[in-house]
Amino acid sequence: MKPELINVLICPQCHVSLDLQVHEEREGQIYAGRLRCQHKGCEYPISRYVPRFVDADAYADSFSKQRLYVRRHFRHYLDDRSGDQLFFPTTGFAEQHIGSGPILEVGCGYGRFVDVVQRQGGAIIGIDLSTHSIDLAQDFVGLRDNVHLIQCDLFQLPFRQAYFTHIYSIGVLHHTPDTRKAFAALVPYLRSHGQMSIWVYPPSMKTSTDRWRPLTMRLPHSMLYAFCIVNQGLFSWIRGLPGGWRFSRLIPGVGPGPGRKFWLRVMSDFDDLSPTYASTHTPEEVHAWFVEEGLQEVRMLPRHTSVTGYKK
């Protein structure tokens, strides 16, 4: 944790400032310590540089397990720049505004888009509920300038309201128990005239996966991981043929393509088949959420089911 982050954080239960106790510093940052609420004395640990406002992964448990497997193959992710092509079409953010104020990513995973924002000159806070996800992100991007990473629940954020100039969430809110409520929980933290963008699964994207997931999400994670390896090993060549994408209607799996290395495809399949929650939503449905929460200039973006809007 960078020392200046204490000026941003509040107790998510009491909504008051926190006192910082430093136990160990490394690299000029706080490696271990404790945050203590000034009202009721609620305490939150800082471990491995990360402030932790939850003590369990809750509904993100499958992603924590997935990140353990990702760590085995993380060298294949280090040169993946697909996030650069996805970020702006998915968020609708203007490149020249990235450095205009604090940005929040909800569900940062291993830090794929935190990396993009930081390289574009933005100051960003990435949050994630999953222990192994946030630890992987810390190893990947956490020590960089203008990057702060926090383990917390989006339904109990440790920030003052109306703090962020930009908030985005890419492929995460549909993994909560209630996507609509998760979206609404974020709006109060956006500044006046700030921009918010989300992307969630469209129904057409998960037709085959949704048939399989009632079974696969109940498998031991080691067994599902093995299935994903075998699935890619046996059938990638079919999916790579002209029209081969149709095979995934029968057995779901990511097809080969530029930048889609074998282990990235395996992890993507695991990510699709393991979650307890993975709801789908139409662009019109998501657009309506923005309007209902009072956001303005709401528009659909080039990436299907990506929507953006501004706070009054």
Check whether residue 101 and residue 151 sit in a common domain: yes
Is 59 part of a structural domain of the chain? no
25 occurs within a structural domain: yes
Residue 1 lies in a domain: yes
Query: Quick one: 69 exposed, middle or buried, by C-beta within 10 A (0-12, 13-18, 19+)?
Result: buried
Are 120 and 252 found together in one domain? Answer: no
Which residues are within 8 A (CB) of 259 and not within 5 positions of it... i.e. 6 or more apart? 80, 81, 82
Q: Is the dihedral of CA 67, 92, 78, 271 positive or negative?
A: positive
Please tell me whether residues 217 and 258 are part of one structural domain.
yes
Nearest CA-CA partner of 127 in 186, 203, 39: 186
Residue 136 sits in the same domain as residue 183 = yes
Number of domains the chain is built from: 3
Structural domain of residue 23, as residue ranges? 1-52
- Measure the CA–CA gap between 215 and 254, rounded to whole angstroms: 19
| CATH number of the domain bearing residue 114 | 3.40.50.150
Positions of the chain with pLDDT lower than 50, given as ranges:
none
> Which ranges constitute the DSSP H helices of the chain?
61-72, 82-91, 112-119, 131-137, 179-186, 207-216, 221-239, 262-273, 283-292
pLDDT of residue 68: 73
Question: Is the domain of 250 the same as that of 265?
Answer: yes
Considering the domain architecture, whether residues 289 and 168 belong to the same structural domain is answered as yes
* CB atoms closer than 10 angstroms to residue 259: 10
For the chain, state the CA radius of gyration: 19
Tens of pLDDT, residues 130-163: 998 999 999 999 999 999 999 999 999 999 999 9
Handedness of CA 118, 61, 210, 257 (dihedral sign): positive
Phi-psi region of 301 (alpha: psi -120 to 50; beta: other; left: phi over 0): beta
Residue entry with tokens 């294949």: 76
Q: How far apart are CA 231 and CA 252, in angstroms?
A: 9
Give residue 59's pLDDT.
Answer: 67
Name the one residue in this structure whose structure tokens are 């933290």.
189
What pLDDT is attached to residue 58?
65
Is residue 177 in a domain?
yes
